[in-house]
């Protein structure tokens, strides 16, 4: 496990970022790798640097922190920064590690950092970016502007959607994430999920039928949906080679 937690500060007030950076300099385990003052700047640096932790202001020039979290393609730990005392419930609905009320005190910040450190050590949060998921692994997905915990095994299938992917759950819920099919393929457990097309990954446990189709391609049917899925020629060959008795 890494000893350092890489963090980015996002706040549209220059003095707030300066104060927070100074306070955080007293914590050896926290390394500030960047800061941003608006939505676009924050999104760019988070996508490029993939920090482990965000100190995130609520309002980013009219756009919300939730919009930002949905756009970066993964789920870093988050400590929200706010002037609103009634934001606590909302913060925890968004699965934040903690929230800090302005002005920030060193004592209150210390408690938040302790929570981050405990989460980091207990879940090996940093290593999860590189390790494959297990079927029981829990990830965060957004549904109707609300983020929820989801077990990987509850994903039915995933489809490419431009620069995004559509993630369909077994219960029919849909989440659109800023991610690629390739990235999903590298993260999902190989004994549960297989790619059947350059734009589609399916959960093997939910396959109801596979049939041959034209030109050495195939068609696959999933539980919970009536539409057939195309299996491209190359993937159909690989599936038959791997699974045919």
> Could you tell me how many helices (H) and strands (E) the chain has, helices first?
7, 17
Hey, what are 145's tokens?
């502007």
Structural domain span for residue 66: 5-129
Find the CATH number of the domain harbouring 83.
3.40.50.2300
Say yes or no: 12 and 99 in one domain.
yes
Say yes or no: 180 and 98 in one domain.
no
Q: Is the peptide bond before 103 cis (omega within 30 degrees of 0)?
A: yes
Q: Which residues contact 218 (CB under 8 A, 6 or more apart)?
A: 196, 210, 211, 212, 230, 231, 236, 239
pLDDT values of the chain reduced to their tens digit, one per residue, 245 residues: 457 899 999 998 999 999 999 999 999 999 999 999 988 899 999 989 999 999 998 777 666 677 788 788 777 889 988 876 665 555 555 567 888 888 999 999 999 999 898 877 655 444 444 467 889 888 888 887 777 888 999 999 999 988 789 999 999 999 988 778 988 998 899 899 999 999 999 999 999 999 998 888 999 999 878 889 999 999 998 888 877 76
Integer Cα distance of 27 and 25 in angstroms: 5
Say yes or no: 168 and 63 in one domain.
no
Say yes or no: 108 and 156 in one domain.
no
pTM for the structure as a whole = 0.52
Contact by Cβ (8 Å): 209, 245: no
Number of separate domains in the chain:
2
Integer Cα distance of 58 and 63 in angstroms: 9
The whole-angstrom distance between residue 6's C-alpha and the CA centroid of its chain comes to 17
Say yes or no: 99 and 47 in one domain.
yes
- Tokens 């202001």, residue? 57
């Amino acid at each position: 496990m890494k000893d350092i937690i890489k963090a980015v500060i996002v706040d549209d007030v220059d003095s707030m970022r300066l104060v927070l950076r100074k306070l955080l300099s007293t914590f050896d385990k926290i390394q500030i790798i960047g800061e941003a003052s608006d939505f676009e700047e924050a999104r760019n640096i988070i996508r490029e640097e993939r920090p482990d932790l965000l100190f995130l202001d609520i309002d980013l020039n009219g756009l919300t922190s939730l919009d930002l979290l949905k756009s970066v393609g993964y789920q870093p730990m988050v400590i929200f920064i706010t002037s609103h005392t009634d934001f606590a419930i909302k913060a925890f609905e968004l699965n934040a590690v903690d929230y800090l009320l302005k002005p920030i005190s060193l004592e209150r910040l210390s408690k938040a950092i302790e929570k981050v450190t405990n989460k980091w050590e207990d879940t090996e949060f940093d290593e999860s970016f590189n390790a494959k998921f297990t079927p029981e692994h829990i990830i965060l997905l957004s549904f109707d502007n609300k983020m929820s915990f989801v077990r990987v095994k509850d994903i039915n299938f995933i489809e490419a959607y431009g620069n995004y992917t559509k993630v369909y759950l077994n219960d029919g819920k849909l989440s659109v994430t800023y991610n690629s099919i390739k990235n999903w393929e590298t993260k999902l457990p190989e004994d549960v999920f297989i790619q059947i097309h350059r734009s589609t990954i399916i959960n093997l446990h939910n396959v109801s039928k596979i049939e041959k189709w034209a030109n050495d391609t195939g068609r696959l049917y999933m539980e919970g949906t009536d539409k057939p899925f195309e299996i491209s020629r190359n993937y159909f060959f690989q599936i038959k080679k791997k699974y045919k008795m």
